[in-house]
Amino acid sequence: MTINEIISYLSMLVWALTLFKQYKTSYFTFFLINAVMDPTAHILHLGFHLMPLSFYPTFILLKNFSLTKRYKSIFIVLASIIVLSISHLLGGKIFWLYLLCLGFSLVIFFTLVNKLIEHINQTRSFSLFLIMLIFYQLISLLKYAAILLDLYKGVTSFYLATFSQIFLGIGFIFVNINTKNFPIKVEKF
């Protein structure tokens, strides 16, 4: 077994374990998609010889929808079908598939930053969970950017970043949105 396979299987295991801590929280769907994304792509690749990367833009789009309650189910299904169709039309055009992943991940990153700002404004405290999730998403952005900048060196960066995300995943086994916040002390002048 190669180091890449070990990292992949370890990642799948860790994200599956996060579901226990995230169950019944508003972020459960996000973590559920994280947990099924790699195994599903792996099964589709092994069983049907489909390119795993062509499914990631749709999964990332679904993670994006999981962070907001503004959209109706029919819109989510239609958007997913459109993105999946575009991904398959792109086929072997790896650059464009990674660019889609980067774009959707960027939207998730800004959504999470916005949620952290709202949380700080409402509670006057930092959420360890949201900070960890933003850091996780930042690493995802860097993974896709590294691949886009240099495909061959980017693959090494991709697996190193995935390895670091495993540690964040282990953190999410113990921390969820209901974990204690850290108050911000504001002194008046």
What is the domain count for the chain? 1
Do the domain assignments include residue 187?
A: no
Q: How far is CA 178 from the centre of its chain?
A: 20
Q: Is residue 189 included in any domain, yes or no?
A: no
Q: Which two tokens stand for residue 182?
A: 């850290």
Closest CA to 133 of 116, 152, 158, 151: 116
Is there a domain that residue 130 lies in? yes
109 in any annotated domain = yes
Q: Does residue 92 lie in a domain region?
A: yes
Q: How far is CA 18 from the centre of its chain?
A: 13
Angle, CA of 64, 16 and 69, to the nearest 5° = 25
Per-residue pLDDT for the chain (189 aa), expressed as one digit of tens each?
888 889 989 999 999 999 999 999 999 999 999 999 999 988 988 888 888 888 999 999 999 999 987 777 777 888 888 888 888 787 778 899 999 999 999 999 999 999 999 999 998 888 999 999 999 999 999 999 999 998 778 888 888 999 999 999 999 999 999 988 877 765 554
The 3-class SS string of 41-63 reads: HHHHHHHHCCCHHHHHHHHHHHH
Cα 105 to Cα 55, 59, 160: the distances in Å are: 14, 10, 18
- Segments in 23-127 forming alpha helices (H): 28-48, 56-66, 73-90, 94-123
> Closest Cα partner for 89 from 121, 51, 116, 127?
51
The answer to whether residue 30 sits within a structural domain is: yes
Q: What is the pLDDT of residue 189?
A: 46
Residue 184: inside a domain? no
Centroid of chain to Cα 61? 10
Structural domain boundaries, residue 146 = 3-177
